[in-house]
A and B are shown apart, each in its own frame.
Chain A
Amino acid sequence: MTTAASTSQNASSTPLTTLTTAATTTPSSSAVRALAMEYKSLQEEPVEGFRVKLMNDENLFEWEVAIFGPPDTLYQGGYFKAHMKFPHDYPYSPPSIRFLTKVWHPNVYENGDLCISILHPPVDDPQSGELPCERWNPTQNVRTILLSVISLLNEPNTYSPANVDASVMYRRWRDSQGKDNEYPNIIRKQALAANAEAKREGIVVPMTLEDYCLKPTVKPSTESGLDANFYDDDFDLETEDLPTDSEDEDDDEDDDEDDEEEDEANDDALENVQHEQEKGNGDSAAISKTKCKNNNGLVATKAAAAAAADDTESADDSGKGETS
């Protein structure tokens, strides 16, 4: 009998006969087969922007991924490590991703768990009310996931934030045309800290588009024009006291508590956002000049900025707490 995998390899990879022959007899055969195929292919043909390796060579279900911050974005030079865990019925259900490197981002929880639509399991309406977006299906894979993650870095989804403070801060930055630069400063600090960590590990992080792209690709469209206005002014000032990674790791217990609090906060924030949107519709003509757009293509609103400003104090506190 020919195993399915031996006929299903594309030209670039050779059959994984040993793994898959054994696998077809176990319930998770599809998972082992799919993961073995993806892993092998990613080793042979790495995709720009990230690298993958197994946490443990015996176990295909847990990967360590490293995402390089895309050049010409806030994340330039960053080296973000994450833990990817696959369910036993992969690819029918999606994996989960937890950042090991500190990431201050509207869609990343305090404990590093990433919240992104493509990774939501197909249960009924896990994100009812959210705008249409990419969802999990069995043809999604590590490549498509990580490319989605990379684009999420620079285009946060502020409609269902996992980190409300980061989301508020991000919107304040966006809505102030870059005048309020607390958000980008934190991101740059984290990217630099991560870069230092990469250096300690002997990893060379690509800093230019040429190095970043293994093959010619279109320049990421995520860079907003407002970056350039203040990038140089603040960059040096803000990068002097880098946070060390050591104190940021392994504080799971605290994180669990944070999660509960944050959950309540999330609900409130969601209401705020919806409220802002309603107000925003009426206002949109007045602010049509703004260049700021979020990932859903809706124009940012003054109302949103005002609401965000109300939260300034708490956001400031936690923002600093996060990085110092």
Chain B
Amino acid sequence: MESFEQNDGNRDELIIQQQREIEKEISDSTPLVSEQLPLNCLRAEYEGDEIFTAKIQELAKKYKFIRRTRPDGNCFFRAFAYSYLEYLISNNSAYQEFRKLAEASKEKLVQLGFPSFTLEDFHDTFMEVISRVSPENAEGTAKVQTELHKIFNEQGYSDYVVVYLRLITSGKLQEDADFYQNFIEGDFTIEEFRHQEVEPMYKESDHIHIIALCTAIGVGVRVEYLDRGEGSLVKAHDFPEGSEPTVYLIYRPGHYDILYPN
């Protein structure tokens, strides 16, 4: 194939092109965020697999519904944002607090060196999304929930929210660099890690992303790990450790979706 003889630049381009094709296939077949689905729908994916079937059964005792997110590398951020904003719709005091925090976050990020011109655009969109899901909306909670779902399936808004959460995460890593440096494998500096693994879109999230974001926003997240690990119990982790979770996510290797507890 001719492609193998191209220079490095072209090889990069080909890799990207292939990625794009895969992304397109995924985006054509999966919404950014799905409707609520019964948890048992997971069983169909693992039919005949005893370990997973047993674990899903166990999980179903605690959780009623799952909401899928598109597997595009942004799933943690998108799932987190959706789930937390959904929680805020019915918790006005937490909503007001979060709104203040979000408002103040821009100044922090500018100080960390992000270009204010573009940052402002992301921040304004982020604030607009927050405004549109206000619990004080006179039309009622159900209406706001519909609005939230609509916003998160509109690529322009949905992705801008992801970008902004990535920036907040990156900012937190920088702010507490001494602490987070301990969790970075290899020779990466915090600076390199932020630029390569946090700020770019489509980069998958690891524990360090989750801890930084949860800490920055002051939200507890419980992640249920559905994997091939021993036993029939699904292991759960709370981030930050010991916090009271408001956001529930399910992790299957490489992907996060939203969970709804009973």
Using a CB–CB cutoff of 8 Å, the interface residues on chain A facing chain B are 2, 4-5, 7-8, 10, 23-24, 27, 29-30, 33-34, 37-38, 41, 89, 91-93, 109, 113, 115, 120-123, 126, 132, 134-141, 143-144, 259-260, 262-263, 266
Residues of chain B within 8 A (CB-CB) of A4 are: 124-125, 128, 156-157, 160
Our pick among A7, A113, A135, A262 for the contact of B200 (Cβ within 8 Å) is: A135
Q: Is B224 an interface position by the 8 A CB rule?
A: no
Please measure, in the bound complex, the distance between the C-alpha atom of A67 and the C-alpha atom of B9, giving whole angstroms: 24
Contact B199 A135 (CB under 8 A): yes
Contact B118 A139 (CB under 8 A): yes
Query: Which listed segment binds A: B47-55, B78-86, B189-197?
Result: B189-197
Contact A135 B19 (CB under 8 A): no
Residues of chain A within 8 A (CB-CB) of B15 are: 123
Contact B115 A139 (CB under 8 A): yes
Nearest A-chain residue to B121, judged by Cβ: A8
Residues of chain B within 8 A (CB-CB) of A5 are: 121
Contact B117 A122 (CB under 8 A): no
Most buried by A among B15, B117, B119: B117
Residues of chain A within 8 A (CB-CB) of B8 are: 263, 266
Q: A23-B156, A24-B154, A135-B199 are in contact. Are A123 and B189 (CB under 8 A)?
A: no
Provide 5 A-B residue pairs closer than 8 Å at the C-beta atoms, listed in order of the A residue: A10-B117, A120-B12, A132-B189, A141-B115, A263-B8
Please measure, in the bound complex, the distance between the C-alpha atom of A132 and the C-alpha atom of B195, giving whole angstroms: 9
Q: Is B87 an interface position by the 8 A CB rule?
A: no
Q: A92-B159, A139-B167, A259-B7 are in contact. Are A132 and B201 (CB under 8 A)?
A: no
Chain B contact residue count (CB 8 A cutoff): 40
Contact A10 B5 (CB under 8 A): no
Interface residues of B in 114-155 (CB under 8 A from A): 114-115, 117-122, 124-125, 128, 154-155
Please measure, in the bound complex, the distance between the C-alpha atom of A30 and the C-alpha atom of B125, giving whole angstroms: 11
Interface residues of B in 1-38 (CB under 8 A from A): 5-9, 12, 15-16, 19, 27
Interface residues of B in 178-226 (CB under 8 A from A): 189, 191-192, 195-196, 199-203
Please measure, in the bound complex, the distance between the C-alpha atom of A92 and the C-alpha atom of B202, giving whole angstroms: 9
Residues of chain B within 8 A (CB-CB) of A109 are: 9
Using a CB–CB cutoff of 8 Å, the interface residues on chain B facing chain A are 5-9, 12, 15-16, 19, 27, 114-115, 117-122, 124-125, 128, 154-157, 159-160, 163, 166-167, 189, 191-192, 195-196, 199-203
Please measure, in the bound complex, the distance between the C-alpha atom of A109 and the C-alpha atom of B10, giving whole angstroms: 13
Our pick among B12, B124, B156, B191 for the contact of A132 (Cβ within 8 Å) is: B191
Q: How far is the CB of A16 from chain B (nearest CB, A)?
A: 12
Nearest A-chain residue to B15, judged by Cβ: A123
Contact B122 A122 (CB under 8 A): no
Please measure, in the bound complex, the distance between the C-alpha atom of A43 and the C-alpha atom of B186, giving whole angstroms: 44
Residues of chain A within 8 A (CB-CB) of B195 are: 134-135, 137
Residues of chain A within 8 A (CB-CB) of B118 are: 34, 38, 91, 138-141
Q: How far is the CB of A38 from chain B (nearest CB, A)?
A: 8
Contact B115 A144 (CB under 8 A): yes
Q: How far is the CB of A103 from chain B (nearest CB, A)?
A: 17
Residues of chain B within 8 A (CB-CB) of A92 are: 159, 163, 200-202
Contact A30 B159 (CB under 8 A): yes
Q: Which 8 A-B pairs have the closest CB atoms?
A: A122-B200, A137-B199, A8-B124, A135-B195, A29-B156, A263-B7, A92-B201, A139-B118
5 more CB-based (< 8 A) A-B contacts, given A5-B121, A122-B201, A143-B115: A7-B125, A91-B118, A92-B200, A138-B163, A141-B115
Q: A8-B124, A132-B192, A263-B7 are in contact. Are A27 and B155 (CB under 8 A)?
A: yes
Contact B120 A8 (CB under 8 A): yes
Q: How far is the CB of A121 from chain B (nearest CB, A)?
A: 6
Contact A121 B159 (CB under 8 A): no
Q: How far is the CB of B137 from chain A (nearest CB, A)?
A: 14
Contact A33 B163 (CB under 8 A): no
Contact A138 B120 (CB under 8 A): no
Please measure, in the bound complex, the distance between the C-alpha atom of A134 and the C-alpha atom of B200, giving whole angstroms: 12
Most buried by B among A139, A140, A266: A139
Contact B199 A30 (CB under 8 A): no
Please measure, in the bound complex, the distance between the C-alpha atom of A235 and the C-alpha atom of B19, giving whole angstroms: 50
Nearest B-chain residue to A133, judged by Cβ: B195
Please measure, in the bound complex, the distance between the C-alpha atom of A259 and the C-alpha atom of B16, giving whole angstroms: 20
Contact B154 A7 (CB under 8 A): no
Q: How far is the CB of A78 from chain B (nearest CB, A)?
A: 25
Residues of chain A within 8 A (CB-CB) of B155 are: 27, 29-30
Residues of chain B within 8 A (CB-CB) of A122 are: 196, 200-203
Q: How far is the CB of B7 from chain A (nearest CB, A)?
A: 4
Please measure, in the bound complex, the distance between the C-alpha atom of A109 and the C-alpha atom of B7, giving whole angstroms: 11
Please measure, in the bound complex, the distance between the C-alpha atom of A99 and the C-alpha atom of B19, giving whole angstroms: 27
Please measure, in the bound complex, the distance between the C-alpha atom of A199 and the C-alpha atom of B115, giving whole angstroms: 34
Q: How far is the CB of A30 from chain B (nearest CB, A)?
A: 5
Q: A137-B199, A139-B115 are in contact. Are A123 and B120 (CB under 8 A)?
A: no
Q: How far is the CB of A186 from chain B (nearest CB, A)?
A: 24
Q: How far is the CB of B128 from chain A (nearest CB, A)?
A: 5
